[in-house]
């Protein structure tokens, strides 16, 4: 689907079709001070000149509907064409089942086209029938697991029509196939957040799930980010979950220096400092050491960020030392 369509031998220009003789084509108005003229093909100019004419005349007919199909084929991202096509469909009372089949074909050719996905959504809303949407989006995601439009449409259909039942199995299969698939991790969070809920049991279950995937690939940012998101719902917080802390410290003890692990431990230290619950493992001194390690060796590309945090923790470190001195003086006086 593109501007170039002149090689189509069977094509007959609208200006040469007898059934369109009653319509005067409307050329594109570039204005008096245009910078450049877009080099559209002759077919493109012909189709869109007639599209502008029916739009201007507000014609809603079968031939107008067919014309919008030709216009979409030349430019599937043209929002005005899609909107007018919907207006015609509604006016004519057209069978929307055949329209769904047509849209599916367009999606297969233009899977990252926002306009066609929006058109699909409107059709499903009109029909109140989402029975084909999970399969459609699954097929699109098999071609490109990161297709944002397919994920957005899938989430809309699931949330609007309550299609949660098998989604966790679907997501688990995607994560098993590619544990770094950030879109699949996001979808897992979506299902728990909007359907299963963040009961303490579910929180601990999802923490264990994330830890198992991290154990498999320790340098996987997607799993670490998911773990962070889940811990937002943990009443123990990031610095109070003994399972998570033990897991992180065991990785560190076994020489794992993933930047995501080090950053996670820094966050544990940071929260402990803010709560006034520092320990021999989680304090400002260790946070400084980890920031320096990240800046100098393990995450140099973000060295400025880690150096910035390091300076912040140095201030906390000084406060910790001052507090210790004060405590020692009090003890000596006693």
Chain centre distance of CA 189: 12
Axis crossing angle, helix 303-333 with helix 284-293, rounded to the nearest 10:
160
* Number of residues assigned to the chain: 334
Exposed, middle or buried, 68 (CB in 10 Å: 0-12/13-18/19+)? Answer: buried
Q: Which two tokens stand for residue 124?
A: 């499903």
Q: Which two tokens stand for residue 324?
A: 């210790």
CA distance 155 to 30: 40
In contact, 216 and 203? CB cutoff 8 Å: no
DSSP 69-130: HHHHHH-TT-HHHHHHHHHHHHHHT--HHHHHHHHHHHHHH-TT-HHHHHHHHHHHHHHT--
Q: How many CB atoms lie within 10 A of CB 148?
A: 12
CA distance 250 to 254: 6
At which residue do the structure tokens 């919008």 appear? 68
Which phi and psi angles does 125 have, rounded to 5°?
-65, -45
Task: Please tell me which residue in 15, 60, 112, 312 is annotated as part of the active site.
Answer: 112
DSSP 234-260: -TT-TTT-HHHHHHHHHHHHTT---HH
Longest C-alpha distance within the chain, in Å?
Answer: 108
At which residue do the structure tokens 């304090």 appear? 283
Question: Which are the contacts of 87, defined by CB distance < 8 A and separation ≥ 6?
Answer: 60
112 catalytic? Reply is: yes
The residues that are catalytic are 112
């Amino acid at each position: 689907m593109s501007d170039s369509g002149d090689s189509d031998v069977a094509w007959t220009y609208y200006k040469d079709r007898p059934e369109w003789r009653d319509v005067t084509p409307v050329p594109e108005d570039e204005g008096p001070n245009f910078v450049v003229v877009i080099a559209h093909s002759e077919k493109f100019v012909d189709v869109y000149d007639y599209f502008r004419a029916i739009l201007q005349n507000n014609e809603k007919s079968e031939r107008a509907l067919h014309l919008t199909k030709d216009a979409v084929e030349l430019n599937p991202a043209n929002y005005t064409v899609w909107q007018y096509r919907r207006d015609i469909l509604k006016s004519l009372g057209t069978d929307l089942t055949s329209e769904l089949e047509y849209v599916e074909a367009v999606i297969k050719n233009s899977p990252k086209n926002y306009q066609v996905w929006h058109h699909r959504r409107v059709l499903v809303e009109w029909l109140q029938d989402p029975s084909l949407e999970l399969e459609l989006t699954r097929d699109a995601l098999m071609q490109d697991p990161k297709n944002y439009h397919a994920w957005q449409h899938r989430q809309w259909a699931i949330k609007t029509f309550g299609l949660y039942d098998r989604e966790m199995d679907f997501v688990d299969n995607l994560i098993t196939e590619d544990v770094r698939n950030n879109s699949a991790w996001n979808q897992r969070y979506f299902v728990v957040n909007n359907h299963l809920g963040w009961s303490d049991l579910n929180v601990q279950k999802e923490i264990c799930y994330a830890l198992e995937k991290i154990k498999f690939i320790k340098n996987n940012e997607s799993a670490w980010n998911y773990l962070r998101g889940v811990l937002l719902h943990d009443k123990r917080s990031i610095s109070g979950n003994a399972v998570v802390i033990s897991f992180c410290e065991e990785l560190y003890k076994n020489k794992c220096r993933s930047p995501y692990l080090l950053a996670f431990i820094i966050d544990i230290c940071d929260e402990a400092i803010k709560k006034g619950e520092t320990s021999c493992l989680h304090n400002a001194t260790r946070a400084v050491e980890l920031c320096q390690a990240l800046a100098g060796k393990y995450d140099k590309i973000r060295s400025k960020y880690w150096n910035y945090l390091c300076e912040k923790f140095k201030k906390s470190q000084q406060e910790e030392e001052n507090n210790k001195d004060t405590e020692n003086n009090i003890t000596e006086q006693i």
